[in-house]
């Protein structure tokens, strides 16, 4: 399946775009997505940390992804 | 009454305070973030705030719900700004009214502390010699 | 910069906040006291605040000096009103700016807590069936 | 010596005036003044507590009073 991934802040700059598409095996998890994404965008692995949001909520690494999910990369937040 | 807002427009501190005033309240605590002119000894020219809007609103709602569960509050306003902000401008205003001041202080501090940890908003600092996404790198 | 005032005139919240804003500050905490419409289940009609003015100013100065010693603050405003105040009106405004929010919150809370313990100001509550000096009797 | 005593809040109401005069022995202390004052104004002794200020500062019971001191009765404060 192909999943779409939103990028914000420095992730958006690393992607060179606010959204990228990534091919993943069916039943891929957040952890699988992280690995594939960091292979394609090595600068992502150099961040202090980053979270993954699925459908506007922080998601655990074990969560299985669906092609219809809204998935986003959340670099360390710095609002306020 | 709670009022949560994420906006590109300048925040109206006065309106935030007026919105939480009520004859039932004995105390109001207000936190106002302001853009500092320096960070780690370097001069800041301006900031840019970017948000994952739909999720930021949801996380702000969670924080407000948690605060109103933890403390007996009357009214609560949480406004955050996005876009370019100059030095001295206001990225965030939190106003909380309660019958007793301890609850207002505790809730206001909890909200800003938690917002800085969980709400997907990002700040980029612009210096004379470059720009940095705050907290992105170790 | 610190600005301490005891006055019969309505307090100007906006002016207090503007006075503590500075490009060096990252956060401002503001406490606003408001007159509640009830106390211990009874309806309050209005309040009267009386001060021992010369001593009240001295005690307010001590509190502010102690706060600025304990925390790194930029600017501080402490205004207290006297005379008759209606429900919803504002007897006290404290505004504190600091590089970091923790200092602003801690100082603001310290100031209102200490003011309520040491500053010679007295509040009389007026009810439909009488009037009471708050805290005077056991 | 005669000392002048300022009254505020409920103390002012108990005195029936913002200021009263009280005869005291020379070298009288704050404690002596309290006793004499409470004899003359029994309602003062019924307060939750009260402090005495000398020259705009809270004074200990052992402090000796001078006729030139500015002395004030400070009932429980309730500002803010």
Domain with D9, as residue range(s), is 2-74
Residue A38 within any structural domain of the chain:
yes
Residues in chain C predicted with pLDDT less than 50, given as ranges, are: none
Q: Quickly tell me which residue has 């993943």 as its tokens.
A: A24
Whether B133 has a pLDDT exceeding 90, the answer reads yes
Residue A37 within any structural domain of the chain:
yes
User: Contact C77/C3 with Cβ under 8 angstroms?
Assistant: yes
pLDDT of residue C40: 86
The yes-or-no reply on A/D contact (3 CB pairs or more, < 8 Å) is no
Average pLDDT, whole number, for chain A?
97
Residue D79 within any structural domain of the chain:
no
Tens digit of each residue's pLDDT (9 = 90 or more) over B24-52: 998 999 999 999 999 988 999 999 999 99
pLDDT of residue C116: 98
Whether A21 has a pLDDT exceeding 90, the answer reads yes
Residue D80 within any structural domain of the chain:
no
Whether D36 has a pLDDT exceeding 90, the answer reads yes
DSSP class of residue D28?
Answer: -
Residue A79 within any structural domain of the chain:
no
User: ipTM beyond 0.85?
Assistant: yes
Ordered by where they begin, the domains of chain B are 2-134 (3.90.1170.40)
Of A48, A58, A79, the CB nearest to B123: A79
Of C50, C91, C137, the CB nearest to D80: C91
Residue D18 belongs to a domain with what CATH number?
A: 3.10.20.30
Classified as helix, coil or strand, C132 is strand
With a pLDDT cut of 90, the percent of chain B lying above it is 96
pLDDT of residue A55: 98
CA distance linking residue D44 with residue D18, whole number of Å: 14
Residue D55 within any structural domain of the chain:
yes
Tens digit of each residue's pLDDT (9 = 90 or more) over D45-64: 999 999 999 999 999 999 99
Residue A53 within any structural domain of the chain:
yes
Residue of C39 and B68 predicted with greater confidence: B68
Q: Which two tokens stand for residue A7?
A: 């990028």
Average pLDDT, whole number, for chain C?
97
Number of domains making up chain D? 1
Distances (CA, A) of B13 to B1, B109, C14, C57: 17, 17, 8, 29
> What is the distance in angstroms between the Cα of D54 and the nearest Cα belonging to chain C?
10
């Amino acid at each position: 399946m192909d999943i779409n991934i939103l990028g914000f802040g420095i992730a958006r700059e690393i992607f060179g775009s606010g959204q990228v598409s990534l091919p993943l095996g069916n039943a891929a998890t957040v952890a699988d997505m992280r690995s594939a994404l960091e292979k394609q965008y090595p600068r992502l692995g150099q961040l202090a940390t980053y979270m993954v949001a699925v459908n506007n909520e922080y998601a655990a690494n074990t969560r299985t992804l669906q092609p219809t999910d809204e998935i986003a990369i959340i670099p360390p937040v710095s609002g306020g | 009454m709670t009022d949560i807002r994420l906006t590109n427009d300048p925040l109206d501190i006065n309106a935030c305070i007026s919105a939480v005033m009520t004859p039932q309240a004995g105390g109001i605590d207000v936190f106002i973030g302001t853009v500092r002119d320096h960070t780690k000894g370097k001069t800041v020219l301006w900031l840019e705030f970017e948000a994952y809007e739909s999720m930021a609103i949801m996380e702000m709602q969670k924080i407000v719900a948690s605060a109103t569960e933890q403390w007996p509050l009357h009214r609560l306003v949480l406004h955050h700004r996005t876009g370019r902000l100059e030095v001295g401008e206001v990225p965030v205003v939190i106003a909380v009214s309660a019958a007793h001041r301890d609850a207002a202080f505790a809730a206001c501090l909890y909200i800003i502390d938690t917002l800085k940890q969980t709400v997907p908003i990002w700040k980029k600092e612009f210096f004379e010699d470059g720009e940095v996404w705050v907290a992105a790198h170790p």
